Structure 1
Amino acid sequence: MNLKTIVFLLAFILPFNLIKAQTCCSGGIPLSNNIGMAILETGTTQIGVNYDYNNLNTLNNGSNKLDDDSRLRITHSILVNASYAITDNFSIEGLFTWVNQRRKITQFGNENLDQTSGIGDGLLLIKYNFSDILKNKVAINIGIGTKIPFGSSTQKNNQGIILNADLQPGSNAWDIVYWSSFLSSFNFRPTFNISSRFIYRSTGTNSSYFGDSTYKFGNEFQAFIGFSDQFLFLKTMLYPSVTFKYRNAIQDKIGGFNLENTGGNWLFIIPNISINIGTNIVFYTRAELPIYSNIDGTQLTPTYRLTSGILFTIRPPKQLINLN
């Protein structure tokens, strides 16, 4: 067994063995949703600019929806991805974020609003394409990276009180991220693809939460399976797809103890459409809609999420060939 095969097996199997380990709050920055650009030819740069709107207005207890719409949580995120292909098989990717989070509670005619804004945490990912292990229209990529705590974790409300961790732009903790993706096409329709993606985040601990305590978001596992195709419409290439997403998060910990009403399991459907709007420029938009959730305790859970963005691809200049 050669070294590349060993690295591949470790990167693919490890997330499944660690599945009982942290989660970003459902209302926070969608870091894991927005990583994993394609690995293209050597010297290619990709830049993606995204706007993400996450609406949480559904109160659940376990798998039961409660008749209570007094709580509303909204997150606006601006996300910038950048990826560079060092070789045809190896690339590096970064994700930078800005976030505005709002939590509104309306009860007995009174309204309480807390909100924060600022630079959020970032992410750095290195990826490798194992094109020499499996061929015949099967693509396998793996990656490992880290979440970088750029964002503030000590913002305060109007009364000067530090807000809870789930409302902060940053986490003040370093996470390890394991990522893998698989894509297969078929002879009966070469443009039709089935893809899957697996992401595991092992989260670090904020050791100065409220000054003298600790906070750890629960470890998180996400699995995606998607179906995509492409069509020519009015001289424009369209790329429709539909993806199913499963998310598992264990409970957060505060002071080393499990925090109730955090963690759970979710299943989403994600319709997406991408459109070529110019040479090496793609516009895309997608919705993330919950199908099922079974959470720990009583929590505000996602109602819907909308994401739109533009992807720019800058390819290297072609080398001139001297026939002499």
Structure 2
Amino acid sequence: MAVEVKDPGIGKSSNKKAKRFINPNGSFNVKHINRKESFANSYDYLIHISWTKFFLWVLLGYIIVNSFFAIIYILFGIAEITNPSGNVFEDFLNAFFFSAQTITTVGYGAMAPKGILFGIISSIEALIGLLSFSFITGLLYGRFSKPRANIKFSTYLISKEHNGKNSLMFRLMSKNGNVMIKPKIEATLALSLPDQQGGYSNNFYKLKLERSAITYLPTTWTVVHAIDDLSPLAAYSLKDIKKVHGEILILASYYDESFAQEVHQAHSFILKDIKTAHQFKPAFFYDEEGYTVLDHDRLDDIEQIN
């Protein structure tokens, strides 16, 4: 008989329409409201967003700052930088390019500030540029040096017979090709069930895995949970399991040589997405010279069982 375990940190309260706890990308599915914003939050945000969003923010900030100083130069007189063209847009572009040269400390020499006022403004802008690029450099270092797990999980959670027992399986591999040292898996089943008060509450069960840890992982690892008498899913048929409001919470850990420390990654599978009567196809093979070839595109390759 399955033994219920303590709440792993998700919370006992639930809802009939409750969404999954962990998104496919490993982030927790929580909406934050009334959160106090601070500069530290901005740094954390810029560290964790995608590279595309990061560079778009950098580009946007660069355009805004240079546009701001370009407007100042125009208001105080573009003639103190270069000869006015008589066209507002062209003068703005000249002021923008001068601002870009100032803030990056390039200074091509084609334009230069005249007078004390413009010298003060351009000096302040140069200081802002130095501070800004130092901040961006720190962000770049933080993004590259931040320890992160590079685990790719299979899209599918499949159900098939294994060693004479119905079992749930998923598999994983390293995204970047590095050998994962001493990887281990913790799997917790969260079932949202009706309670005596007429609402819903979460019930948590630790899933026993065929192997919860291995020594190293150079290829793929198929993680197996046998649905035996000790499984919390033993009371359900395969058809009923897919109807249960449940989620398998995964925490994967391993030692990463690149960061010289243990890294962790969360993931989850929804019970209703179980693929029945299928099995995983091999993701690696041996070439003519005897080398093991791992095809990263084959992690999700499955085939139907007759």
Name the TM-score, length of structure 1 as normaliser: 0.25
Higher strand share: 1
Higher helix share: 2
